[in-house]
């Protein structure tokens, strides 16, 4: 069955750099957005909370693929001065979409910190920024890590959609191969390699997430 490994795998991996670039840019955008939007949603200011909620629900409630099409085809029409490079447009859509989901991880972690922690910080005459920086976030980050780890893996898988906008990632390369190899056995072989490619890319993320969780939990009582 796997007779073409020396031909198929190198061809698929021609798109590896695109996949990694979209993931890294998308992850940077996603976690920046997650922290900003997540903290905004914990604000006591109704306007700030409302803006963040609108953003989160917009990107969680619409299709990632449609968002990609919007940034690539609709946005340049609405704003002719904005002409995003294809790779950045794809990564932006991925980052905003998964950032909206990850913002809920941030919000939940911040809100889970016991109110007594805030009250104690207030009694020490800490400002709101000092309470957030020195008391709440150090504890909340530890709670965010499992959700962030899962989000990173989901984000990696979401990068496979960029082939719909013409980016030659590994999914695009696999589909090109499929077009030139009509035999059923060849198609099974191609998508098996693609399947394991995403799994191998996800493995470092899984191990990194577990390592960070263990490191963050050192010295923390579970009782």
Domains and CATH numbers, the chain: 5-215 (1.10.3720.10)
Place of tokens 């919007």: 70
User: pLDDT, tens digit, for every residue of 180-198?
Assistant: 887 888 899 999 999 999 9
- Picking from 37-51, 74-88, 121-135, 161-175, which range would have the lowest pLDDT averaged per residue? 121-135
Q: What distance in Å separates the CA atoms of residue 128 and residue 130, rounded to the nearest whole number?
A: 5
The burial of 76, by beta-carbon neighbours within 10 Å (0-12 exposed, 13-18 middle, 19 or more buried), is given as middle
Q: Which residues contact 111 (CB under 8 A, 6 or more apart)?
A: 42
Identify the DSSP state of 81: T
Residues in contact with 74: Cβ distance below 8 Å, sequence separation at least 6, in sequence order: none
Residue 140, pLDDT > 80, answer: yes
CA atoms lying within 13 Å on the CB side of residue 96: 23
CA distance readout (Å), 118 to 29, 121, 222 = 29, 5, 21
| Residue pair 37/99 in contact by the 8 Å Cβ criterion | yes
Share of the chain above pLDDT 70, in %: 97
Question: What's the confidence (pLDDT) of residue 136?
Answer: 85
pTM for the structure as a whole: 0.90
Average pLDDT score over residue span 33-50: 94
Please tell me the predicted confidence (pLDDT) of residue 174: 95
Closest to 29 (Cα-Cα) out of 76, 74, 81, 90: 90
Is the pLDDT at 166 greater than 70, yes or no?
Answer: yes
**Residues 165 and 86: beta-carbon distance below 8 Å:** yes
- Higher per-residue pLDDT: 133 or 85: 85
Is the pLDDT confidence value at 223 over 50? no
**Residue 60: per-residue pLDDT:** 94
């Amino acid at each position: 069955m796997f007779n073409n490994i020396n031909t198929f795998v190198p061809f698929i991996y021609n798109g590896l750099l695109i996949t990694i670039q979209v993931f890294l840019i998308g992850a940077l955008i996603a976690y920046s957005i997650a922290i900003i939007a997540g903290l905004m949603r914990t604000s006591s200011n109704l306007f700030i909370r409302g803006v963040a909620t609108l953003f989160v629900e917009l990107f969680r409630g619409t299709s990632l693929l449609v968002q990609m099409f919007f940034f690539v085809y609709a946005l340049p029409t609405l704003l002719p001065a904005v002409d995003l490079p294809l790779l950045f447009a794809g990564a932006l859509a991925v980052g905003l979409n998964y950032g909206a989901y990850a913002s809920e991880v941030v919000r939940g972690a911040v809100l889970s910190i016991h109110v007594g922690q805030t009250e104690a910080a207030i009694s020490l005459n800490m400002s709101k920024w000092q309470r957030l920086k020195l008391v709440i976030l150090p504890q909340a980050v530890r709670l965010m890590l499992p959700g962030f780890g899962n989000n990173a893996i989901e984000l990696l898988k979401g990068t496979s959609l960029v082939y719909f906008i013409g980016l030659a990632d590994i999914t695009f390369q696999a589909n090109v191969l499929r077009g030139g190899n009509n035999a059923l056995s060849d198609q099974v072989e191609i998508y098996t390699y693609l399947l394991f490619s995403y799994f191998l890319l996800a493995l470092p993320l899984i191990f990194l997430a577990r390592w960070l969780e263990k490191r963050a939990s050192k010295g923390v009582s579970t009782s």
